[in-house]
Amino acid sequence: MGYTIAEKILLAHTDLKSVKPGEFIEARVDLALGNDITAPIAIEEFKKAGFTRVFDKNKVVLVPDHFAPAKDLRSANQCKMLANFAKEQGIKNYFEIGCMGVEHALLPEVGLTLPGDLIIGADSHTCTYGALGCYSTGIGSTDLARAYVDGKIWLKVPGSIKFVYKGKLSKWVGGKDLILFTIGKIGVDGALYKAMEFTGPVIRSLSMDDRFSMSNMAIEAGARAGIIEPDEITKKFVSQFKRKGKLYKSDSDAVYEKTYEWDVSKLEPQVACPHLPSNVKGVSELKDIKLDQVVIGSCTNGRISDLRIAAKILKGKKIKPGLKLIVIPATQKIYLECVKEGLAEIFVRAGGVFETPSCGPCLGGHMGILADGEVALATTNRNFIGRMGSPKSFVYLSNPAVAAASAITGKITHPDKI
């Protein structure tokens, strides 16, 4: 019996002869990521248990991105813990502000995540890198502390669910819409403990940026991973890095717990309504949803192609008076590209703010918190109660084109209407 790509990668990181879904394994990790919220607990636990050296300083990554640039004194102290630990352990992959970016946009950009890798991150959206054909999964701080000790993680081998997308995508529809549509169909626990595998002709023609958006939100369906088999697009993306990774494909007789197949030719841009990412509607079904704020950015949709789409719509236009538009490029590299290509100027001239890379308002940290009763449309990944600030606020999720169009009209709008 064959293996899925998820099972193959996991097996390759153990000394076992075989693996099967449901089995508990101890696996070797290629990379262990922590941020300014999760790494402090990991560092404390690591030290409290009496350990002094990390297993491999080149496989540990520290990114202060959630509350950085430090939003207050306590955040500053947490960020400082990362800087100190990096210095003490000789960890090169510590990204201070200035070279920092939102972790899940940054790591692929600098070639730290490659096909075939087993990556753990103390951040739920670590599943983003599955877009490159690796097994990457979100874990907790104590898991990270343990990985610091011996480079290993305990995992339950997940069963796999296959998602086949057929047809041809309409204009303004991309990876974000496919994943919102999928979560809308299967629910926030529709892939609980499972590996999602995205495939079919529509996936094969998606850009890397769109693939990252899809894999990023696998966790919103409860999945451990969201994997796309590597192809020519993947190979082209990794060709810029010294390390190439290892390309795995699912066997033709691999076993899937379920297969979903959809023709998405008629799919319109999708919007997740408050207060769950599964509460999904087509954009044209939403009439007169007035907005106070639009956020374009995050590990889901803060990449250069996202910002190009938004700028294309906003070019020469003004946002609705009284509305707050917040644009956050996910990394310094993307920030610089926005400056060079004139995108930053388009956002500012339209009446928006152009912020430094950070998770910022996505998780209600800083740089755009919602007040009581405010309504936001965001290109981020979660719209739980209070996620972006007040427990009495409302968050809708969409792709960057819908977000930009809606910033102009002040209500949720199909980009075709601009």
Partner 1 sequence: MIIKGKVHKFGDDINTDDIISAKYLVSTDAKELGSHCMESISPDFAKNVQPGDIIVGGENFGCGSSREHAPLAIKGCGVRAVLAKSFAAIFFRNAINIGLPFLESQDTDAINEGDILEIDLSSGIIKNLTQNITYKTAPFPKFLQDIVEDGGLMNYIKEKEKKHV
Query: Which residues of the shown chain bind partner 1 in the complex (CB under 8 A)?
Result: 24, 37-38, 40-41, 44-45, 48-50, 66-67, 72, 74-75, 78, 121-124, 126, 138-143, 145-146, 149-150, 154, 188-189, 192-193, 219, 222, 224, 276, 363-365, 382, 384-387, 391
For 20, 137, 159, 179, the CA distances from 107, given in Å and listed in that order, are 30, 14, 27, 21
We find the least distance from the C-beta atom of residue 290 to partner 1, in angstroms, to be 23
Which one-letter DSSP state was computed for residue 222? T
Sequence letter at residue 90: G
Which one-letter DSSP state was computed for residue 246? -
We find the least distance from the C-beta atom of residue 38 to partner 1, in angstroms, to be 6
The residue among 191 and 323 lying less far from partner 1, judged by its C-beta, is 191
The residue among 156 and 318 lying less far from partner 1, judged by its C-beta, is 156
Report the C-alpha gap between 24 and 140 in whole angstroms: 17
The residue among 354 and 396 lying less far from partner 1, judged by its C-beta, is 396
We find the least distance from the C-beta atom of residue 114 to partner 1, in angstroms, to be 22
For 54, 204, 297, the CA distances from 208, given in Å and listed in that order, are 32, 10, 16
Q: Which residues contact 356 (CB under 8 A, 6 or more apart)?
A: 69, 97, 328, 335
The residue among 38 and 398 lying less far from partner 1, judged by its C-beta, is 38
We find the least distance from the C-beta atom of residue 93 to partner 1, in angstroms, to be 19
3-state helix, strand, coil in the chain (%, to 5): 35, 20, 45
The residue among 7 and 268 lying less far from partner 1, judged by its C-beta, is 7
- Please, what sign has the CA dihedral across residues 45, 51, 56, 58? positive
The residue among 37 and 334 lying less far from partner 1, judged by its C-beta, is 37
The residue among 121 and 133 lying less far from partner 1, judged by its C-beta, is 121
We find the least distance from the C-beta atom of residue 113 to partner 1, in angstroms, to be 17
We find the least distance from the C-beta atom of residue 174 to partner 1, in angstroms, to be 24
The residue among 245 and 364 lying less far from partner 1, judged by its C-beta, is 364
For 216, 231, 347, the CA distances from 157, given in Å and listed in that order, are 20, 24, 45
Which one-letter DSSP state was computed for residue 2? B
Instruction: Of 201, 213, 230, give the one whose Cα is nearest residue 174.
Output: 213
We find the least distance from the C-beta atom of residue 314 to partner 1, in angstroms, to be 29
Residue 177, SS3 per DSSP: helix
We find the least distance from the C-beta atom of residue 214 to partner 1, in angstroms, to be 18
Report the C-alpha gap between 296 and 330 in whole angstroms: 10
The residue among 4 and 234 lying less far from partner 1, judged by its C-beta, is 4
> Contact 335/357 with Cβ under 8 angstroms?
yes
We find the least distance from the C-beta atom of residue 74 to partner 1, in angstroms, to be 4
Dihedral angle over CA of 228, 199, 298, 125, nearest 10: -50
- Please, what sign has the CA dihedral across residues 334, 339, 341, 347? positive
